[in-house]
Amino acid sequence: MSIAVLGVALAAALGVALPPGEVRADDTATARHLLLGVRAFKAERYDEALVELRVVARAPDAPADLAFYLGPTLYKLQRYDEALAVFVASRVPADALTDFYRGQTYYQLRLFRKARAVFAELRARGLGPALHDAAGRYVATVDAAYQAPPAAASIDYYLAAGLERLATDPLVAAEYLDEARQVEALAAQPHRHPEIVAALAAAYNDSGRPQSTIALATAERPAPPPGKTSASPAAPPASPSAPDSELTWQLARARAATGDAAHARPLLDAIIKSRGPHAADATALLAKLAP
């Protein structure tokens, strides 16, 4: 099934559209705008709700859980890219309803593996009958679509979408690149795997998530050969290909960002010796490392 066909397969079957919860009317301008926004949402006046919630977003005392209200509003206005940006930027653990909207947003943007993961987790968490059944239909539809291995064109689509957004919105870019990674893992044979992983590592670094880069890169690096230990950081290949060189650079950046000079230094040394595209950047970063 193509991406476009899959994107509309469940539209008629999923009529779940619950509003965010009520908020308390504190005696502050921000709280009043938030209350007006939530009430407008419940009245299905989504444009009006967005105006009020944008005022809240600009306020210095904006609530940390603003994504619980702003994200669903953008979703209802079919501004899915903006909704995704709000959801992924939030650092507050979401409730089940907010996660449901996030899953729907993934689905509308054709990030089907990401959507499936959200809905499967929601079903495991336990929901009311309406949300539980709707989440199950999403999971079943995605599973049916991926009974056959995905085509290379699908992987290319997600990789291109992620690369296009990398410079301007690395948080959102990472969502597309992680989708590319997950879809490529289902392919009959590897397709642009090193390029996908390197780009995803860059998106994690550029969005301030070096630990995610380290976890990703560590999973990609081969285990030490017999008789060797992993106590010392493994050096990259002597003549790495472009994607491998990029992943090594991103791993070095992440190690440096977390203050792990012991692991960053040998990676940076290898990059400098390779005289590759990141040699100058590696030299500058190496000079900043703690002794």
Report the CATH fold assignment for 3-145: 1.25.40
| Helices 210-220, 242-257: inter-axial angle, 10-degree rounding | 140
Nearest to 233 by CA among 200, 267, 192, 207: 267
Does the pLDDT of residue 15 top 50, yes or no? no
| pLDDT tens-digit map of 89-134 | 998 988 899 999 999 999 999 999 999 999 999 999 877 788 889 9
Give buried/exposed letters for 105-129 (b at 16+ CB in 10 A, else e). Answer: bbbbbbbbbbbbbbbbebbeeebee
Question: For residue 189, with 0-12 CB atoms within 10 Å meaning exposed, 13-18 middle and 19 or more buried, which class applies?
Answer: exposed
| Residue 238 pLDDT grade (very low, low, confident, very high; cuts 50, 70, 90) | very low
Task: Look at the alpha carbons of 250, 256, 258, 260 in this order and tell me if their dihedral is positive or negative.
Answer: positive
152-222+235-288 carries CATH number 3.30.497.10: no
Considering the entire predicted model, what is its pTM? 0.84
Give the residue-averaged pLDDT of 39-64. 95
Question: For residue 275, with 0-12 CB atoms within 10 Å meaning exposed, 13-18 middle and 19 or more buried, which class applies?
Answer: exposed
| Residue 291 pLDDT grade (very low, low, confident, very high; cuts 50, 70, 90) | confident
- CATH 1.25.40.10 occupies which residues in the chain? 3-145, 152-222+235-288
Provide the 8-state DSSP code for 233.
P
